[in-house]
Structure 1
């Protein structure tokens, strides 16, 4: 039997370095799934929901730096992936999304499960296309593979009518040409930025996800040039948080003391980041008086009136050139570094009593290996992870910048499949666990021993905080009490319940030792919404105002 469109597509994926595809089976992709199953260079993982499959592929791409594949069928299946694809877009994750479509002869008839997937996904992805002939499918995939890794990384979505996959393919696949950097241009750009660094008294770096593969070059440049470093929102593994030049994570709820180094900066180098709303503290930084250099291709500049330079090139190569071009210099960031150390120090508490979320993070940080991969969901509990974990090793943090709930559990499964030798811990609230926690069954089936820590406070905490602040009362934010340990055991995992502080460390230590998926259900105080906020205080303040 000759090559089909599906087998050609799978061969192209394998040749591009793709190693895993995460899928929910559907009628419109059965021939693609068969081709994936028989390709020895690729592993096909069947998830339990389309969002879970795409969150897995997103986490795989973040961790490995090369795209993974998410596969879904037409109509409802394709629609169910939308939130995860949006996550990959805002997180700048390389991701290939292959969607089945109704048969080509039925297009435009509003037939069973027909949706215009290109129109639907265009605002959510970097690149979208739908094949109009079977012969063009492999070429479109080649374009998608080129798109996800060139310039700003992101997801590429290809919709393929169901009858195209099994068609024979004997043509030559046309691949997009690579654009070469003109000789000497990188050295010239680095030289111009080097003069700005030499003239600055307080040059500050904001390191984003695009620095993950340039971490060594960043550390070398920081040590040589005396730069201070902030990490962008949920990109804390871009730079070691125990480095003397580390001055903070630009997330939610950052006090002014943590922002003083950025406030006084006379030059800001944004490396591999798009300077989103959270990272810029609601577009407060960089101020229009601060020169800004943005390094990394395809990222839009922030809304500002100040002087902005764009260096559209690879971050690692640029940092190597900058280190050579700029003069070595020592700058003293001790005050800012001491402030962030104090901010990150967990509170001291007794050995018994109700479990505080900070206790969970502190205990895990002491027990887990240094290179543990932490996947974090959206929710108020995540503030404790961001503040108290202290990320020191590369490729150890996976979290959604767009605040998508349900990310942590499927992301942890993918992380363990991608790097089975590393410990992987999912940090998730009870709301997020109930959205995609069924992917624990995927972990059981694929023998991926992840640890899922559920912060159960019975609330959608982030929304409860907004309601308390705005209205002084709560509405539809109660989650209710769930026995996550029994639920986990029903899915084939081990389950632990922690009601008291003295039960915490033994349960976590046992889960870390077991070679099977584990869920640790930690019942935390619903009054403790964040490291600095209590729900009762917020409600009382609103009522008294």
Structure 2
């Protein structure tokens, strides 16, 4: 007879789940056994629960199918929470399975006890704790349904440790499909057909949606904006691309959106950054929503039309054209991103961390292919390295490049050891400027002294070698391209410790400009 844990593993496998990420804990030993015994499931042991959660989140972004993040009660579950919050704000499908204290000790402030369902309720799409062992497989099936529902996200199930090894004699439950409201495509087609200057904001990541959106934009004459850190949803070199709605977007790039009479969002919610602080859509603009799966029908029902978006695209081109750098200047982050873009394959997966340095990747990479960008929409530091490990495990034939600041690298860079263990040849580019640049910028812009933002000098290349990876230090532009070529050719993980100009905070701001005033 199956145990509860074996039933859960089978429910997950039958739903198409492929990976589970965890730091092993004693409160879910039966589940670890069941994962190891289920051929369709791959269990990855990570070095920290935050790394496990970020890996599961990255898998969900790349595949559209949830992966599983697992952690033990109390400390492990709280460590895991940062990646769960990331999945919530990004709308990424994820299943979270947490070990809990034994059922006989619940509610007694037992060793490592936390009310996990209550703790995760505001962070997740759903959070439950079954009252009996027999309820656990059904709760996991429901979590799968919630994770992949109309608004995808993380679904959490906390399970008392003694439930996993209990027998499960019942029929295996299957996840229900939660139906989203059916869009009135004919009505949307009529509104678009009558519109003067309609624009689209998209975050659809899958290749089919990407192709359909390009075809729809070209047939109906639509300008396309991409949501925050969803730049791979539409080719940025396309003449109808109007911009990435990220941080610090210039007004010239927002003009087409400001002048639009109809705003159509496809495959995403309008989060705070994408909506530019909830500025868009404007009160006078009509806001329509459509799933990517309905684009072909929309195209068929809307009269074809051509519109000239050259002014909007020219604003993008001007914004993303890098400046010239004179000889002798310190290595600039823009140069690093542009060199990586020149030398990396067109379909390379880029994972970016949070921090000021990420603005250079957003501005100068030029994303053209679907599912090539993984970044945390909630601004969580420490995302890039674990996400790169997950991407390489899922797509072993593709180049995967993690861009991370020295602060983020010191948070979860230990997952390089996970990459070494799993022979995942990621390239990790550490932009080392010795500073928490985002916080320093906030401090100096508001007239405050800089405090608590210094990061000590670290030999990241030597650190990488101590973990079994390759490591190279880059201090000059002459060293940059040879180091990138060598890193891309490595058959093992490689870290490039790139020493960038500490005076450069963003593409448009230098620290010295504020300190002199």
The alignment's TM-score, normalised by the length of structure 2, stands at 0.98
Is 1:341 the counterpart of 2:317? The answer is: yes
Deviations 1:159-218 (A, max 9, x none): 000000011111013445445689xx65xx111111111111110000024666511111
Give SS of 2:505's match.
strand
5+ residue gaps, structure 2, are none
- Aligned-CA RMSD value: 1.3
C-alpha distance in 2, partners of 1:40/1:3? 16
C-alpha distance in 1, partners of 2:166/2:70? 19
Q: CA deviation at 1:351?
A: 5.9
Is 1:366 the counterpart of 2:342? The answer is: yes
Is 1:293 the counterpart of 2:288? The answer is: yes
The equivalent of 1:504 in structure 2 is 480
Correspondence for 2:418 among 442, 445, 458? 442
Q: How many residues align?
A: 517
The equivalent of 2:272 in structure 1 is 277
C-alpha distance in 1, partners of 2:424/2:205? 28
Q: CA deviation at 1:329?
A: 0.3
The equivalent of 1:144 in structure 2 is 143
C-alpha distance in 1, partners of 2:96/2:175? 19
Change (3 A) 1:343 1:418: same
Change (3 A) 1:192 1:121: same
> Post-superposition, which runs of at least 4 consecutive aligned residues in structure 1 deviate over 3 A?
173-182, 209-213, 350-353
Q: Superposed, which structure 2 residues align to 1:443-462 within 5 Å?
A: 443-462=419-438
The equivalent of 1:249 in structure 2 is 244
Q: CA deviation at 1:321?
A: 1.3
Q: CA deviation at 1:388?
A: 0.2
C-alpha distance in 1, partners of 2:452/2:230? 32
The alignment's TM-score, normalised by the length of structure 1, stands at 0.93
The equivalent of 1:239 in structure 2 is 234
Deviations 1:289-320 (A, max 9, x none): 1111123xxxxxxxxxxxxxxxxxxx233211
Change (3 A) 1:210 1:369: closer
Q: CA deviation at 1:255?
A: 0.7
The equivalent of 1:301 in structure 2 is none
Deviations 1:482-539 (A, max 9, x none): 1100100111100010111111111111101111100000001111011101111123
The equivalent of 1:311 in structure 2 is none
Do 1:485 and 1:520's aligned partners in 2 also have CA atoms closer than 8 Å? yes
5+ residue gaps, structure 1, are 296-314
C-alpha distance in 1, partners of 2:310/2:341? 25
Q: CA deviation at 1:35?
A: 0.8
The equivalent of 2:154 in structure 1 is 155
Deviations 1:55-107 (A, max 9, x none): 00000110111010111111100010111100000000000100000000000
C-alpha distance in 1, partners of 2:250/2:68? 39
Deviations 1:447-481 (A, max 9, x none): 00000000000000000000001124201000111
Do 1:352 and 1:500's aligned partners in 2 also have CA atoms closer than 8 Å? no
Do 2:267 and 2:292's aligned partners in 1 also have CA atoms closer than 8 Å? no
